[in-house]
């Protein structure tokens, strides 16, 4: 099971008493056990423009890169969920040719640890979040509530905010931050005022934070008909847009808008799954192309194999008109996209955690705005990586990304990779 899949499965279980549509038979996303036994064997086709840039080795190197990369003056920066000197995750740098260096190892509390989101660059300073760590403890996960941190390109790290958890603050930030006019905006998957009770940990928040560390909660998600468990944010004409993994009218997730002052609106409720061909459980952040939003859902779509539908790519206008562009159908196509999309010259590119031609280890795909989809690479053959879970980054004619696992032969073996693909 991937890191994101494990988290989503846990989300469903702790919320089942409150959120409609949180079915107990829902398979964990990314888990090999979720693969339908009726899937067809696929013809094996290889991409010739795919390259592994770096394979992680474990402590003191990083382990399980689950976040996207950014480029700062020709050097790539990223995070790993585990590994490093203390085993709590890292920030690393890597050149396009594959020379990697450990920039920072997260430590014990009150430092942050377990970063699952990537970094952003604001005027030469890098900012990110950690899902765990910080100064405050959050039950019932037996972890601390997470942090927002800054780090220089030389490796000097500073915790800007330690989340406190419900009912006064968020907890568990797993999406990257967004800079809008020198204020940072983000989400926490848990925490907040609502969805509290036995075994429940809050439905998540949207927050703002200054570069100096002054944090403010803009919205507390409340579960159906509001969203629950939000992902990353994008900005269009001064308004923020995002998705929630659960909640909405049907409990299958939602797309929402929110002003920078905190006025939130649900634009679309996914589902009801499995009784429609709509997507369900949106995961990665949205992409913006010509004023239209594009995203992925980890489940749903028209290819129902039991309850294990393969997910979708969808478009949605800022007014809320949604359309499914593609329904994934496992092999040789992908299944269960966990990352968002990246726009390259009017075409969209993304990854899936499962499906493809080799042992259901995931794919890289392209899709037009009209819905014509093509698999560019299937993970899982040899040592190329497996289970990609983060947005790709386009730079210098190549897509750059990470796989959470892989790097040595076999899907779950290996500590993850950095890869490039020339579309």
CA distance 213 to 221: 22
Residue 44 in this model has a pLDDT that exceeds 60: no
- pLDDT of amino acid 63: 94
More confident residue, 110 or 12: 110
- Domain membership of residue 367 (yes or no) is yes
Residue with tokens 């494990």, as numbered in its chain: 6
- Domain membership of residue 246 (yes or no) is no
Tokens of 271: 């589902």
Tokens of 27: 């398979």
Average pLDDT, the chain: 87
Residue 41 in this model has a pLDDT that exceeds 60: no
Structural domain of 347: 50-107+337-423
Residue 21 in this model has a pLDDT that exceeds 50: no
- Domain membership of residue 135 (yes or no) is no
* pLDDT (mean) for 272-293: 93
Instruction: Give the pLDDT band (50/70/90) at residue 96.
Output: confident
**Alpha-carbon distances, residue 190 vs 113, 291, 331, 373 (angstroms):** 17, 30, 34, 34
- pLDDT of amino acid 306: 56
- pLDDT of amino acid 45: 39
- pLDDT of amino acid 414: 82
- pLDDT of amino acid 339: 96
- Kindly report which listed range (1-15, 38-52, 223-237) carries the lowest average pLDDT score: 1-15
Residue 223 in this model has a pLDDT that exceeds 80: yes
**Alpha-carbon distances, residue 162 vs 147, 173, 180, 261, 392 (angstroms):** 5, 11, 21, 22, 28
3-state class (DSSP) for residue 117:
coil
Percentage of the chain with pLDDT > 90? Answer: 74
Tokens of 400: 């750059």
- Domain membership of residue 375 (yes or no) is yes
DSSP for 226-289 reads SEEEEEEEEEETTEEEEEEEEESTTSB-EEEEE-TTS-EEEEEE---TTSSSSEEEE-SPPEEE
Residue 30 in this model has a pLDDT that exceeds 60: no
Global confidence as pTM? 0.89
Phi-psi category of residue 210: left, alpha or beta, with phi > 0 → left and psi -120 to 50 → alpha? beta
- Domain membership of residue 137 (yes or no) is no
- pLDDT of amino acid 199: 64
| pLDDT tens digit sequence for 143-173 | 899 999 999 999 999 999 999 999 999 999 9
Of 62, 61, 92, the residue nearest 77 (C-alpha): 92
First CA to last CA distance, the chain: 28
DSSP for 30-76 reads T-GGGS-TTPPP------SSEEEEEE---TTSEE---S--EEETTEE
Query: Strands 100-105 and 312-316, how do they pair?
Result: unpaired
Residue with tokens 């939003």, as numbered in its chain: 293
DSSP for 313-371 reads EEEE-TT--EEEEEE--SSSSEE---S--EEETTEEEEEESEESSSTT--EEEEE-TT-
- Domain membership of residue 169 (yes or no) is no
CA distance 397 to 123: 24
- Domain membership of residue 364 (yes or no) is yes
- pLDDT of amino acid 88: 95
> Does residue 22 contact residue 12 with C-beta atoms inside 8 Å?
yes
- What pairs with residue 405 in β-bridges? 386
Phi-psi category of residue 265: left, alpha or beta, with phi > 0 → left and psi -120 to 50 → alpha? beta
Residue 353 in this model has a pLDDT that exceeds 50: yes
Backbone angles phi, psi at 301, to 5 degrees: 95, 180
More confident residue, 28 or 46: 46
CA distance 409 to 331: 20
Instruction: Give the pLDDT band (50/70/90) at residue 27.
Output: very low
CA distance 407 to 413: 7
> Does residue 240 contact residue 256 with C-beta atoms inside 8 Å?
no
Instruction: Give the pLDDT band (50/70/90) at residue 274.
Output: confident
- pLDDT of amino acid 305: 63
Residue 357 in this model has a pLDDT that exceeds 70: yes
* pLDDT (mean) for 255-259: 98
- Domain membership of residue 366 (yes or no) is yes
| pLDDT tens digit sequence for 175-222 | 999 999 999 999 999 999 999 875 678 999 999 999 999 999 999 999
CA distance 414 to 58: 9
3-state class (DSSP) for residue 13:
helix
The domain tally of the chain equals 1
Instruction: Give the pLDDT band (50/70/90) at residue 48.
Output: low
Residue 46 in this model has a pLDDT that exceeds 60: no
The DSSP secondary-structure symbol of 191 reads: E
């Amino acid at each position: 099971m991937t890191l994101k899949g494990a988290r989503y499965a846990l989300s469903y279980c702790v919320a089942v008493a409150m959120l409609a549509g949180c079915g107990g038979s829902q398979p964990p996303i990314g888990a090999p056990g979720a693969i339908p036994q009726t899937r067809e064997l696929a013809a094996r086709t290889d991409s010739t423009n795919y390259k592994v840039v770096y394979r992680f080795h474990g402590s003191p190197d990083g382990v399980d890169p689950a976040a996207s990369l950014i480029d700062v003056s020709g050097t790539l920066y990223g995070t790993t969920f585990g590994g490093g000197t203390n085993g709590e995750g890292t920030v690393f740098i890597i050149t396009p040719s594959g020379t990697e260096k450990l920039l920072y190892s997260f430590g014990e509390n009150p430092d942050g640890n377990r970063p699952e989101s990537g970094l952003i660059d604001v005027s030469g300073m890098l900012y990110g979040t950690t899902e765990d760590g910080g100064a405050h403890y959050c039950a019932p996960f037996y972890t601390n509530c997470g942090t927002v941190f800054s780090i220089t390109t030389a490796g000097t790290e500073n915790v800007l905010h330690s989340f406190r958890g419900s009912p006064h603050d968020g907890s568990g930030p797993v999406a990257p931050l967004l800079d809008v006019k020198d204020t940072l905006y983000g989400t926490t998957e848990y925490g907040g005022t609502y969805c509290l009770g036995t075994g429940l940990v809050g439905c998540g928040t949207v927050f703002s934070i200054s570069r100096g560390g002054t944090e403010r909660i803009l919205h507390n998600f409340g579960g159906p008909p509001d969203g629950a468990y939000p992902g990353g944010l994008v900005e269009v004409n001064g308004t923020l847009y995002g998705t929630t993994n659960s909640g909405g009218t049907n409990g299958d997730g939602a797309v929402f808008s929110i002003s920078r002052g905190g006025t939130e609106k649900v634009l679309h409720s996914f589902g009801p799954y499995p009784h429609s061909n709509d997507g369900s459980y949106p995961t990665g952040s949205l992409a913006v192309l010509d004023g239209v939003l594009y995203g992925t859902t980890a489940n749903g779509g028209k290819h129902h194999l039991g309850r294990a539908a393969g997910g979708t790519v969808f478009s949605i206008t800022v007014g809320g008109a949604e359309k499914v562009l593609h329904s994934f159908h496992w092999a040789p196509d992908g299944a269960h996209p966990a990352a968002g999309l990246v726009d390259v010259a009017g075409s969209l590119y993304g990854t899936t955690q499962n499906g493809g031609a080799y042992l259901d280890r995931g794919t890289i795909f392209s899709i037009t705005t009209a819905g014509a989809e093509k698999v560019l690479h299937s993970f899982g053959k040899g040592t190329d990586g497996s289970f990609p879970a983060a947005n790709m980054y386009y730079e210098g004619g190549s897509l750059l990304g990470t796989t959470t696992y892989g790097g040595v032969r076999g899907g779950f073996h290996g500590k993850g990779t950095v890869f490039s693909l020339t579309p």
